Amino acid sequence: MFIDQAQCLVRSGDGGRGVVAFRREKYVPMGGPSGGDGGRGGDVVLVGDPELATLISFQHRREFRALDGEAGGNSNRRGRDGETLRIPVPLGTVATDRESGQVLAEVLEAGQTLLVARGGQGGRGNARFASSVRQSPRFAERGEPGQQISLALELRVLADVGLLGMPNAGKSTLLAAVSAARPRIAAYPFSTLEPQLAVVRRDSREMVLADIPGLVEGAHEGRGLGNEFLRHLSRCRVLVHVVDAAGSEGRDPVEDFGIIEAELRYKSPELAARPRILAANKADLPAWEGHAPALRDAARDLAGFVGLSAAAGQGTEELVRMLLELLERQPPRLPLPGEQTEDVVVVRGGGRRRSVVREADGVWRLQDPTLERLSLMADLDNAEALDYLLAAVLRSGVDSLLRRVGVAPGDAVRLGEWTFTLGEDGKPAEWEAEPLPGEDG
Ligand SMILES: Nc1nc2c(ncn2[C@@H]2O[C@H](COP(=O)(O)OP(=O)(O)O)[C@@H](O)[C@H]2O)c(=O)[nH]1
Ligand SMILES: [Mg+2]
């Protein structure tokens, strides 16, 4: 087993803005408000994909951004929602929010989705703010910004395919010939053997190949397969037996094949029953022709036979194709669960309660998810929109909380990007946009 790790940045879409519009009717100078709502920004989700074996694809792409919601339109037309961005991950992937260190969840099933960044709400159009006392609202909301989250992904990986064969059969050469990438982190705890791993990617499918050292020199004399080697191999779903089919150094390929097969049956009947393919290597050498028919015959009980040259890269694609097909017919890869699993999906910012804190500069900050969102979506340039926001804060009954924690009249209180001053009556009075850092005022 090795641990594969990756990082990526995901950003959900912003909500579209609501618009200010009024109906135009014949003979009516100004009709009722008809500005539509903005669409929701797209979510970002991780999706369990059983065809993936590793996180290797994240080496090529590290940033993912979902589409924004569309702005609303006239005649109460609602803007289109941003599409959900689906990021395929292998089963068993554990996602962690890097900022908080919180484990978001683990994707364990095919098709299972894990919401990692929620799309922003669409802003409401002016039609939604109409009431008996405010018949022609001239303001609308901005869309809620999307969330940006830096994710750490982690996956425990088992090799799908194990290579075995005599020393110098060409296993290392074969591994290098078929691999698309080498996993960066290869950690085999409690093991003295360091398998070589390679990831093979074809279309959307992946498999992991392992070349496990373990056939000591002298394997030809039957000194053979160590227990640790066999334990590694037993976790592979499919095996490839590589033979030097040119009989280099005066060896007899059929005999080499027979020695290893007999060892396998003797040491582990369970492993001997594992589906495997005989790869008759070194087909570029003339001597190969003479040995191939007998090898093909010796392999008749196996799942397949392929002649190839690992060094020349001939026949290796045929082997890859056979392996992918063979794997497809095996029981599915079972996810290896991570250690710190939580099955609760937590998206940052959700479910927080209302609170008032004193910030480093002595100014109070009111934290309230609903009010913060309203303030974030308020149109900065519109006095009517601010009146609406003020009214919402008053309605929320937050003034008693402010009094309780000791906020005095005249004190400034922050809410989102805004600052208001508490009036003499203990109610929020004046609004002011919080100056951006670096700006004067
Ligand atoms: N001619 C030829 N030589 C090969 C081929 N594959 C591997 N070799 C050579 O065989 C030797 C042993 O290969 P290696 O991959 O290290 O074998 P391993 O011990 O099974 O990992 C090296 O000198 C390779 O260059 C091949 O397809 N054709
Ligand atoms: Mg080798």
Which residue range(s) make up the domain with 420? Answer: 355-433
Work out the average pLDDT over 74-93: 95
At 177, which CATH number?
A: 3.40.50.300
327 against 427, higher pLDDT: 327
Counting the structural domains of the chain, the total is 3
Q: What ligand 1 atom has the least distance to the C-alpha of 308?
A: 27
Work out the average pLDDT over 365-393: 83
Q: What ligand 1 atom has the least distance to the C-alpha of 165?
A: 20
Same-domain pairing of 190 and 263: yes
Q: Among 120, 136, 155, where does a domain finish?
A: 155
pLDDT band at 219 (very low <50, low <70, confident <90, very high): low
Same-domain pairing of 229 and 317: yes
Same-domain pairing of 362 and 322: no
At 359, which CATH number?
A: 3.30.300.350
The reply to whether ligand 1 has any atom less than 6 angstroms from the CB of 282 is yes
Residue 438 resides in a domain: no
User: pTM of the full predicted structure?
Assistant: 0.76
| Digit-coded pLDDT (tens) for 420-441 | 888 787 777 776 766 544 444 3
Q: What angle do CA 81, 86, 89 make, to 5 degrees?
A: 165
Q: What ligand 1 atom has the least distance to the C-alpha of 167?
A: 19
Distance CA 15, CA 285 (A): 64
Statement: residue 123 has pLDDT above 70: yes
Query: Helix and strand tally (H, E) in the chain?
Result: 9, 19
Same-domain pairing of 288 and 419: no
The Å distance, Cα 214 to ligand 2 centre, comes to 10
The reply to whether ligand 1 has any atom less than 6 angstroms from the CB of 281 is yes
Same-domain pairing of 240 and 193: yes
Ligand nearest the Cα of residue 173 is 1
pLDDT band at 7 (very low <50, low <70, confident <90, very high): very high
The reply to whether ligand 1 has any atom less than 6 angstroms from the CB of 54 is no
Same-domain pairing of 146 and 167: no
Same-domain pairing of 43 and 71: yes
Paired sense of beta strands 161-164 and 238-244, if any: parallel
The reply to whether ligand 1 has any atom less than 6 angstroms from the CB of 172 is yes
Say what the pLDDT of residue 346 is: 36
Work out the average pLDDT over 347-363: 68
E strand or H helix at 370: helix 369-377
The Å distance, Cα 193 to ligand 1 centre, comes to 21
Residue 335 resides in a domain: no
CA 331 to chain centre: 24
pLDDT band at 332 (very low <50, low <70, confident <90, very high): confident
- Give exposure, 217-226, as e/b (b: 16+ Cβ within 10 Å): eebeeeebbb
Same-domain pairing of 151 and 183: no
Say what the pLDDT of residue 434 is: 62
At 76, which CATH number?
A: 2.70.210.12
Residue 371 resides in a domain: yes
* Eight-state DSSP code of residue 338: -
The reply to whether ligand 1 has any atom less than 6 angstroms from the CB of 171 is yes
Same-domain pairing of 191 and 140: no
Residue at token pair 């994909």: 49
Residue 26 resides in a domain: yes
Query: Which residue from 173, 178, 229, 243 has its CB within 8 A of the most atoms of ligand 1, so it is best to mutate?
Result: 173
